[in-house]
């Protein structure tokens, strides 16, 4: 198929063909400016190559070269078969002795919020029971929550708490959305991270939908065990984080 000819009419072409700057660099600069100004939003899909070709009055090869440059610089991500998207802000999730969701998000100058997907008592399966140090089948409080930063999902976490050890926690969590506040109600005034394990895998269809991410990109999965001041395990949490938006950082 023949590519459309470059057009030279400056009244219809927003790139300057006579200033010595290559056309693809001009297009890349224009798109970079739109990203910086917010005209193109993080995570948003860019116009197709054909649409950009018509917009700038150039052939698709020129547009493709500009997108490749933006991709190399990290401003744009290109997904085979889906198109090009504005890269999203990547939040550093630093694993510390006292990692709290709201503090993590505010550290990045964003507003934290959350959506509770389920809150109930369930019998512990062996994996959860082993992590909490209870018998398999023991009652545990499950809190599943979608965490957001400026209304963009950044985590999907299932928190498990030993119901017998923390009597009244279910009611406390029903009364307050903050885990720290709910634990304080049942006598846990502080808790710390004992262990964090990190793996990666592809998201399930539900995870991809909730986290608003492509199914072709992996999620980071953390398994966290938290203990109280006496070293008693009070929480086992399994979190999923979208790699387009979150990276996990370990510091001494």
CB 24 within 8 A of CB 62: yes
Q: pTM of the prediction? A: 0.74
Band of pLDDT at residue 214, cut at 50, 70 and 90: confident
Element housing 195 (H / E): strand 191-201
Q: Specify the pairing of strand 246-250 against strand 91-95.
A: parallel
Model confidence over 130-188: pLDDT tens digits? 999 999 999 999 999 999 998 889 999 999 999 999 999 999 999 998 999 999 999 99
Report how far Cα 9 is from the mean position of its chain's Cα atoms.
44
pLDDT at 251: 76
> How high does pLDDT run on average in the chain?
88
pLDDT at 8: 41
Domains in the chain and their CATH numbers?
23-86 (1.10.10.10), 91-250 (3.40.1410.10)
Report the interhelical angle of 60-72 vs 23-37 (nearest 10°).
Answer: 50
Q: Is the model more confident about 93 or about 21?
A: 93
Model confidence over 103-137: pLDDT tens digits? 999 998 889 999 999 999 999 999 999 999 999 99
């Amino acid at each position: 198929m023949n590519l459309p000819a470059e057009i030279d009419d400056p009244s219809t072409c927003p790139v300057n063909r006579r200033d010595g700057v290559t056309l693809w660099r001009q297009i890349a600069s224009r798109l970079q400016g739109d990203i910086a100004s917010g005209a193109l939003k993080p995570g948003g899909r860019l116009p197709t190559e054909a649409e950009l070709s018509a917009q700038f009055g150039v052939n698709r090869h020129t547009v493709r070269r500009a997108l490749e440059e933006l991709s190399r610089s990290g401003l744009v991500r290109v997904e085979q078969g889906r198109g090009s998207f504005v890269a999203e802000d990547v939040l550093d999730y630093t694993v510390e002795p006292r990692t709290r969701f709201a503090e993590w998000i505010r550290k990045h100058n964003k507003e934290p919020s959350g959506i509770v997907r389920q809150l109930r008592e369930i019998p512990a399966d062996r994996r959860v029971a082993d992590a909490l140090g209870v018998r398999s089948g023991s009652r545990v409080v499950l809190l599943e929550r979608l965490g957001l930063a400026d209304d963009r999902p950044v985590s999907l976490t299932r928190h498990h708490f030993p119901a017998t050890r923390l009597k009244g926690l279910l009611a406390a969590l029903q009364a307050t959305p903050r885990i720290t506040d709910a634990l304080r109600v049942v006598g846990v005034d502080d808790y710390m991270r004992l262990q964090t394990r990190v793996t990666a895998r592809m998201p399930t269809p539900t995870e991809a939908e909730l986290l608003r991410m492509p199914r072709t990109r992996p999620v980071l999965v953390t398994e966290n065990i938290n203990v109280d001041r006496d070293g008693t395990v009070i929480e086992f949490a399994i979190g999923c984080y979208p790699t387009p938006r979150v990276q996990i950082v370990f510091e001494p």
